[in-house]
Structures are given as C-alpha cells and as structure tokens.
Structure 1
Amino acid sequence: MQHSHLARLSALALGVAGVLAFGQAQATGFQLRESSVKNLGRGQAGVATAQDDASVVSNNPAAMVNLAGNTVQTDVTVIDLTADFEGGGTTAAGTPLTGGDGGDPGDPTPVPNFAAVFPMKGALEGLTLGVAVGAPFGLKTEYDRNWVGRYNAVESDLKTVDLTLSAAVKLHDRFSVGVGFIYERADVTLSNALDLGTIMASTGIPGAAPQGADGFASVEGDSNGIGWILGAQWKPTDRLAIGLAHRSEVDHDIEGRADFTTPASFQAAQTLYRTLSANPMLPPAQRAQLAALGNGFVDTGATAELTTPSVTTLSVQYGVTDAVRVMADVQWTDWSSMREVNIDFANPFQPNSIEDFSWRDTTMYALGAEWDMSDTLTLRGGITRDETPTHIETRTPRLPDNDRMLYSIGLTWRLSEALSIDAAYQRIEIDTPRIDIRSSSNSRLVGEFDGYANLFGFAAQYRF
C-alpha cells in the first residue's frame, strides 16, 4: 500500500477554501457593493458623500444628515456573470482528468437592499436615525457535476444579510459624525466530487483506478455575527464634500453538517480498511491512516471560522456647477485577514482540513459624475478599477477572480416631489484569471477563465 498522502485524502475532499470563495461577485473577492442603484450608476464613486441616497445608512452613517426628510428606499440589482473555462488536468496518478468545461457557472442573481432615514425634530434636531437591510458579501456559482474541475468545486453558495442600525449627529453645519451597529447572518452551501477511485488505487484495492469511483460531498452551515461602522463627513465649502467611513470585520463561527455520498465499491473497501486498522502487526501510523479511511467520509457535523473583511472608504465630491457634480472614491478592503481556512469535523476520524488562502489587501479606485438635466431627470456615469485579492498560487475555481474594470451609466427620474425611480447598468470586464491548483485528492487543475458580468439595477425612493 501507498500511505504517503492518506492523511490528506482522509480529510474532507471538499476544496474547503471555498468556505471563503462563494462565487464571483460584483466586486473582487466575494464583496457585493450593490447597496444602491445610484452608486451603481456612478461606478461606486461618492458612496460616503451621497446627497440624496438612503444607502448611506450602511456606507457612511454621517452622510445621513444630507437627507432633509424621512426617506424610504428599495434597490434591486441583478448580477449576470459569465465565465467560460478552458483547460484540463491530471489525477494524482498522472492520468488525464475527464469531464467538460463546467458550463456557465453564473445565473442571473438578484441582490435586494432596503434603507430608510429619519431626521429627528424638536429637541432631537440634529440627530438622524437610519436602518438598512442588505447583502454585503456573497453570490453563487454552480458547475456541471461531471466537469473537469469537479474535485475542486461544483456548487458554491453564500448568502449574507446585514441589519444595520445607524445614527448621525450634525456637530456643525459643515461637519457630522455617525455610527452604525451591524447584525450579520451568513448561510453557506458548498459541494464537490470526491475521487475515491484514487484512494482505493493508492491503497492497492484490485481493479481500482483514478476517477473510477466518484463520490460527492456537500457542506451546509450558518452563523450570526456582529460588527460596526464609523463615519464622518466634512464640507469645507458649499461645493466640496469629503466623507470617510470604516466598516469593521465581522467574525463568524459557521456550524453545520458535511454530507457524503459514496459508491458501493468504496463502502466495501472501507470494511477492509477497518479490518486492517485492527491488525496489531501493522505500524501504529499505518493503522491510524487505515482507521481514518475506514471510518471517514460519513455524514458528520462541521465547524469553521469565517471573517468578512473590514472596509475603509474615502469619498470626495465637488459641485462644478449647481447641476453638475463629480466624485472620486478610494476604498481599501482588508482581505489579508483571510490567511487560511480550518474546517473542524465532529467525526474524530476526519482530521481537520486546512487550506491556504493568503489573500492580499486590495484597493478600488472610482471616478463618477452626475448631471441634473432638469428638475425631473438626472444622468450619471462612472469608471472603476478594482483589484483582486487572489493570486495564482491559491486561486480556486470557486472564485476565478482577477483585477477588473467597471463601466457604469444610470439615471434618476423624479415622478413627483415625493417619489423617484432609479435605473443603472454596469459592465464588468475581468482580466483573465488563471488556475493552477490541486484538489484534496491531489489532482491538478490547470487552465483559465474568460469572464465578464452585466449588472442591471432598479430602485424606488419615497420621501415624506
């Protein structure tokens, strides 16, 4: 028997780096910035100084003082990702990986957001309160179950929902501060195939061959976490506004289950592994490896730690005329908090699975403009450069991410003094992501993705 990599194979063959890589999002990594269709139309410029946008509840609570009356706003952005894979790979034995290109892993996915702002009156004048419900991280990709990269990823699905409660105080006509409390819910589903044929072949099971006995594994879990956001806004002149906001990390302790489906041939081999593990003539290390194989790959509880990154945003807005505004943003995302993923299984025969992530901090640069063509119509546009936290050494098909350019247009149509609607379109062009990664069964996947995304946003705002 060959035992050099049995401990690795006995870990959950789930590509557990996917716990942090739940699919291609509008931003790099798995960050979502679709809290506002107005922001989408400006290319995410001006998010911390927005003048007529309730999304500042979760982007920079200090800017809530810009809204003079009670405001309720609902936004929906549909993200349509396309990513085509070209490549192949080899099993641990050096034979070619079988399977297709996986199809298009991204389906049109709606991302809803809600925000409301309430300026206080009377004795509390100068205080503004706000509430927002949104999805700051996540999305979904799903490949064909028989694709060439099935041992790395099939389904990757993350849904986060934030409830943000914010308050702002106007300390001076030109200066305000704000703070927000974040309650975040995360739900996770991940899956991929298991090359159990490689395990059996490496342990000398007669007739076994790589890719000859595929199994399947799926993990589902959820968690709740708490965070905060701080912000400030300064207007040194009537035309110039500067906003700064910092959103904290949110720590999650994901709890759930790992479910395995294994073929009859592997279940029969497990009976042999368990029998051999009781043989006192074998070395203790070999017996432990055989016990892990014989008793692993069964349904079990699973836990993992997940930290969504901190985000710092600096916005500058300048009114060129009463009808034309330009804005620029720089946003820093602390992806380096994601060094590795450690999955802990309730089954004592299932060793912890540790995957290196080593993501890097990123910077986004955005330029945007707005033009009030009339009292009822505003046009906007923007261009953005967004860096990726991933790199080829650890990049996974769960997140075939790379640097990107974003091109945006949008408009607001004011139907009345109280009601307005917004629409926006954004095109994302992604630099070619290259993959060179090994699965937990030691197969190697090599190739590249040709990816882009189209985003369509619609919103309504009511003031009273």
Structure 2
Amino acid sequence: MHHAHRTTLTALALGIAGVLALGQAHATGFQIRENSVKNLGRANAGTAVAQDDASVVSNNPAAMVNLDRTTVQIDATIIDLNAEFTGGGQAAAGTPLAQPLTGGDGGDPGDPTAVPAIAIVAPLHGAFEGLTVGASISAPFGLATEYDRDWVGRYNAVESDVKTVDFTLSAAVELHETFSVGVGLIYQHADVTLSNAVDFGSGICRVNIAACITPDPVNAPFGPQKNDGFVEVSGTDNGLGWLLGFQFRPTERLAIGYSHHSEIDHEIDGDVDFTVPAAVVAAMGPMAVAYADGPGGAKLTTPSVDTLSVQYDFTDSFRMMADIQRTGWESLQAVNIERSNGTPIASEQFQWEDSTMVALGGEYDLNEAFTLRAGAAVDETPTNDEHRTPRLPDNDRQLYTVGLTWHASPNLSIDAAYMRIEIDSPTVESVSSSGSVLVGEFEGHANLFGVAAQYKF
C-alpha cells in the first residue's frame, strides 16, 4: 500500500508548509503587518520612519530615537476574512472510476480573528545617554480558517490554524542629529494545526481495482468518496532572527528609513493523527500501519523583508508617507518532509516568487486633540496559477484605509483605524494527496478594525 504511505505524509507536508503557505486573511503570502494601528490607518506607509509609534521596535529599530520618553503601546486588530468558492472537480481523476466531487462550497472559511501586539521603548540616560532600547511581542504570521468538513474541496483543506509569535529586543543609537542606526534580535515561535479529509476508497481502488468494480461500481464496498477518513497535522518550532535599520533626516521635514528583517530558519516537529474507517483497516490488514500516527518534520525558512520608507512634512500639520516593501518569498520553493529518523517522505512544491508592496498614506492634525489618517496600497502575491491551492487562494490585493488618533492628554493617546482589502479573484486547479482534482475560483475581501492605546511616562 505504497500509495497510502505517501498520502499520509503528503498531508503532513501540507501541514508543515502551512506555517508558511497559508498566510493570513489580509496580506499576500502569510505576512501580518498589523502590529500598529497608526500604521494601519496609513495603509502601512511610513513604518520605518514612524515618529510617535513604539511599533518601530520591530519595524525599524533605528526609528526608536524619535521617542524621547518611555512609551508603552498596546495594539489589537480584528481581521475578518470573507471568501466564497465556486467550482467542482473529480475524485479519482485520471482513472476509469473518476467521478464528480460531491459537497458544498465550504461556507465562509474566515471568522473574525484578533491579532494583538505590545511594544515598549525606553530612552536611556546618564552613562548611556543617546542609547534607546525597546521590546515587543507581535504576531507576524498567521491564519485561522475552517471549511465545512464535507465541502467539495475537503481533500485539500478543512481546518487551517497557524500562529506565530515574535519576541523582539532592539537597541538604537543616534550617531548624529540626522542619522541613527538600530539592531534587533528576534525569537520566533511557530504553531500550526492543519486538517483535511482523505479519500481512502480511491486509494484502495488504485491498489485493488477489483474491490471497487465487483459486483458493480455502485454497490462495491470501496470506491471514490465512499470511504472518507481524516487527518490532522500539528507542529511547533522556535527560531532566531535579526533586524537592522537606519534612519536619515537630511532636513527637518524629510525622513528616510530602511530596515532589513532576516530570514528565520525553522525545523518543524510535527505529529500526524489519522481517523481511518474500520472497513479500510480490515481490507488493508498489516498494510494499515502506513496510517499509524507518528512524528515527522521539515526544514523551512521564513522570508526576509526589506522596507524603505519616506516621510515629508508639507506643513506642521500635514505630512505624507510612502513605503516600498520587498518580501523574499523565494525562500519558499518546496517543503521536503522527513520522518524523525531522516527517511525522506514527500516534497510539496510552491515555487513562490519575491513580492512587492507599495503604500502611500498621509496624516493631518485637525487640532491638538485629533489626528486624521488615510492611505492606499497595492500588494503583490507571491503565488502563481500553476501551484496555487485552496490552502492559499491568494492573489494581488488593493488596500484602502482610514484612521485617527485622539490625544486624550499629554501622556495618553487612543488610536482607531479601518482597512478594506479587495482581492483579485484567484483560480485553483489543485490535485490533492487523495488524487482528486479541484477546479474553481474564489471571491473574497477582508475588513480590518484596529484600536490601540499609547502611554508616555
């Protein structure tokens, strides 16, 4: 039952790859940029030169020098993905027993999900005058989606729950009144749970066609979509990365910032949990061990991120920002899965390409109490038509945002922002590990709502 063994670990491959490939509801790939509600209101423009925003701890540590007092900031963004699938496909595709896939459209896979962040920046004094340090906790990658268990694409994906948490420590020094440099260390934890159905009936047919056509295909005990089981994959890992950033202010009105977020290597340790119909276990006999629960893993690398930001203050009350961000998605070409003893199991191809986001935003101080924001951005997908799957029905996106800050007191400010994301309709033609082919199109959009509070001591 060699095919059954491959089906098992292909499911694991999808689970491990989910840490990277599933992404999140509102940015291409798996990147979550929303560690700052102020940035959210500007469509993430100006992230590397932010003047009054503690999130620079992880966005560009060199910009921490812009804060002259100890500052604590707490952000929370609600991500609400809405998606709908239209299409169908074939089970046991390419065989004499091929038949249309049964099931519904999967429902809306996205529920509102909260993404929190916290950051603190502290300028030092005395012997360490000129040095600023900071720390942050944020969720840079993640997704929580779930299709109906009996949907037409159940052999490709049902539940996808991906979480990553970064703990970042940064330091910055002002080398000149116009130039600062910052560095940071990142400790990243990744946690993933993925599940999908398995068409065991089709697997048995490929090994023993007689079991599926005798006495006739309709009444045979085994066959495509007759003997569905389930597999759930989970895995965790911790990795280390680093940050490097610069900020240059050639004039009082112009600021230029650049930051580099390193790749982070992961060795995911995963577990596979199967639910196999009793009739399948009996038919397989000793070969059923191929579906035994057990460990597996994969080496993979999260991408580097390079950000260039510019801010220009047209007046004391009005300023505009622009960002160009390049994400090194070429680090995700394939995910090679191995048993814990090093035995190769499967390879999942993604063939992603580097992608670019371009953002433009602005701020206007209405008065001493309120600052208004707005922005727009275009976000390029790293995926391609050939390798796109329902686990990441991603495509190019357009982002539109508004936001505001209420300066409640000299020490306390409250932020709010809204982002609307329009997603170009992605198509899929995906072959599952069960041998089914899913063909169709997704329609979707996302709404993001953010609130934050900042306090200066």
Q: What's the TM-score, normalizing by structure 2? A: 0.94
In the TM superposition, what are the counterparts of 1:57-76 in structure 2 within 5 Å? 57-76=57-76
* Structure 1 residue identity aligned to 2:300: L
Alignment match, 1:285: none
CA change 1:23–1:317 in 2 (3 A) is closer
In the TM superposition, what are the counterparts of 1:17-416 in structure 2 within 5 Å? 17-92=17-92, 93=95, 94-204=98-208, 205-206=211-212, 207=220, 208-271=222-285, 274=286, 293-346=287-340, 352-416=345-409
> Is 1:437 the counterpart of 2:441 in the alignment?
no
CA distance in 2, matches of 1:423, 1:268: 59
Alignment match, 2:215: none
What do residues 214-261 of structure 1 show as CA deviations (whole Å, max 9, x unaligned)?
010011111000000000000000000000000001111111210000
* Structure 2 residue identity aligned to 1:303: G
How many residues align? The count is 441
* Structure 1 residue identity aligned to 2:438: L
CA distance in 1, matches of 2:356, 2:415: 27
Report if the CA contact (8 A) 2:43-2:361 is conserved. yes
* Structure 1 residue identity aligned to 2:79: I
1:210 Cα deviation from its structure 2 partner? 0.4
1:6 Cα deviation from its structure 2 partner? 6.3
Report if the CA contact (8 A) 2:406-2:414 is conserved. yes
1:347 Cα deviation from its structure 2 partner? 8.6
Deviates more, 1:381-390 or 1:89-98: 89-98
1:26 Cα deviation from its structure 2 partner? 2.1
SS across alignment from 2:237: strand
CA distance in 2, matches of 1:312, 1:15: 28
CA distance in 1, matches of 2:406, 2:73: 14
CA distance in 1, matches of 2:48, 2:203: 53
* Structure 2 residue identity aligned to 1:146: D
Q: What's the TM-score, normalizing by structure 1? A: 0.92
1:10 Cα deviation from its structure 2 partner? 5.7
Q: Which runs of 5+ in 2 are unaligned?
A: 213-219
What do residues 82-138 of structure 1 show as CA deviations (whole Å, max 9, x unaligned)?
010000000123210111100111000000000000001122111000000000111
CA change 1:459–1:9 in 2 (3 A) is closer
1:23 Cα deviation from its structure 2 partner? 4.6
What do residues 115-168 of structure 1 show as CA deviations (whole Å, max 9, x unaligned)?
000001122111000000000111111111111101011111111000000000
1:25 Cα deviation from its structure 2 partner? 2.9
Report if the CA contact (8 A) 1:21-1:156 is conserved. no
Q: Aligned-pair RMSD on alpha carbons?
A: 1.6
Give the 4+ runs in structure 1 shifted more than 3 A: 3-15
Report if the CA contact (8 A) 2:61-2:170 is conserved. yes
Report if the CA contact (8 A) 1:118-1:130 is conserved. yes
